[in-house]
Amino acid sequence: MCTSILVGSEVTADGSYIITRSADHASRSPQHFIIHPAVSGQKRIHSTAACGGVNHFSWPMPENTLRYTSFPNWKTHLHGGEGFNEAGFGMTATESIFAKPEVLAVDPYNEESGITEDDIPDVILPQCRTAIEGVKLLGHIVEEVGAGEGFGVAFVDKDGIWWFETGSGHQWIAQKLPQDKYYTTGNQGRLQDYDPNSSEMMASPTLVSFAREHGFYKPETDGAFNFSKVYTRNDERDRIYNDPRVWQIQKRFNPSLVQDPHDGRNFPVYLKPEAKISLSDIRSIMRDHYEGTEHDPYTNGLNGKEPWRPISVFRTYETHIMHVRPWLPKEIGEVVYLALGMADLSVFVPFYAGLENEPMSYQVGTADADSFSAFWKFKRLQTLAMQDYATLAPIVKKAFSRFEQSCDKAQVEMEAAYLKAESREAAQALLNAFNHKVIADAQALAESLMNECFTVLTEKVEAIVPFRNGKHVD
């Protein structure tokens, strides 16, 4: 279960493209970081089952593949989440979305061998050079073998962002994000209009005819074709679990917009924000948990029965921001900012597309806590802070905020030096050294904060059970 936001270049503070998504499944789900090298002359079939994945999906891979990055599950090294390839194309997969039961009764998901989020990055990123190529290949796979589940996928390159949604086992739609708008979703298929003649829309060839044939779409009474109305689930589960997250994001970016938080079907698909959106804004919104309202499940004591599901939940195992600045060299112009664990109590650490080797702490980590892996350094801190959120969370959040602000400034300086470097080798050495230092510094800060939180808690516990002899400790 996830929350996604896409932002067009005309409404970002720096003219970049921004994509963000949280990955929310289970707290004990460490992610690793992998740089997959380019390969030539291979004969290989991608097999989910061979890696211990969720089903038996397989797909032939080309002889020559591109270098790409991913942040996969620790156990299978599938479920790659997000990444960029050497051509400058990036993607995030997937946002879980749900089709109508009556549609799935006719065209069910191919759970046995259809494509799922286990496979999408590792099939698309090694062979596609543009967002349009990525959309077309994923669409072709869905049409040929089917989707194993419902999902939304974002694709980005120097020309913009595309968003892809499944409607059933073999039906799909994709649309290019308007440059002057943003889009957000919380586990919902939200695309609506479809114009088969538009160069900024794509879909399965039978998207409309299938719906008409089976009575899901009746033009004479329904009017214009509406994808989400025809294909996607819309019931009481969406009212409190999904709608409020989209409502909250749109409220924060468009404060003057008045909407019923339980009327998600009528929320605008795209909106122009009332102010330009920055990386800092995105970091903030992905940490949102309805602070200052009756729906905040953390600040006034942990409340697991709060009906509104917040954007930032404890079982998030990572949240990422993909930042694309086409005017810069790909090596520094494309960055994944990764916050391991719960974004509200984590820090967004930059991973430049040009980084040449993986930090060891992002190569290890299992479902059992340890003291070395990057994932558990952050997750252990978060688990501790949640024991007394009102006291400890402000300590963690203040320190991580200062770190991010300092990192923002340091990145500007490093990138300027990179552009002025006398050789590619010198520029690359600068990038590698900087990126590894930032990654190490973030983990060192997490460990320092762990000790600070333990110090505070130690004093609080002693104050509760001092057992003094009168006024003295005997």
In degrees and rounded to multiples of 5, residue 89 shows phi and psi of -100, 135
Cα angle vertex 253, ends 249, 256, to 5°? Answer: 110
Respond yes or no on whether the N-terminal peptide bond of residue 48 is cis (omega within 30° of 0): no
Pairwise CA distance, residues 319 & 316, whole Å: 7
Q: Is 29 helix (H, G, I), strand (E, B) or coil?
A: coil
Instruction: Identify whether 2 is a catalytic site residue.
Output: yes
Given 2, 128, 407, 453, the catalytic residue: 2
For residue 2, give the nearest of 177, 148, 164, 185 by alpha carbon: 185
Pairwise CA distance, residues 205 & 133, whole Å: 17
> In this structure, are residues 321 and 348 in contact, taking their beta carbons and an 8 Å threshold?
yes
Q: Is 196 helix (H, G, I), strand (E, B) or coil?
A: coil
Q: Which residues contact 30 (CB under 8 A, 6 or more apart)?
A: 73, 74, 317, 365, 366, 367, 373, 375, 376
Pairwise CA distance, residues 99 & 167, whole Å: 6
For residue 78, give the nearest of 90, 89, 70 by alpha carbon: 70
Q: What are 430's two structure tokens?
A: 């600068």
| Active site members | 2
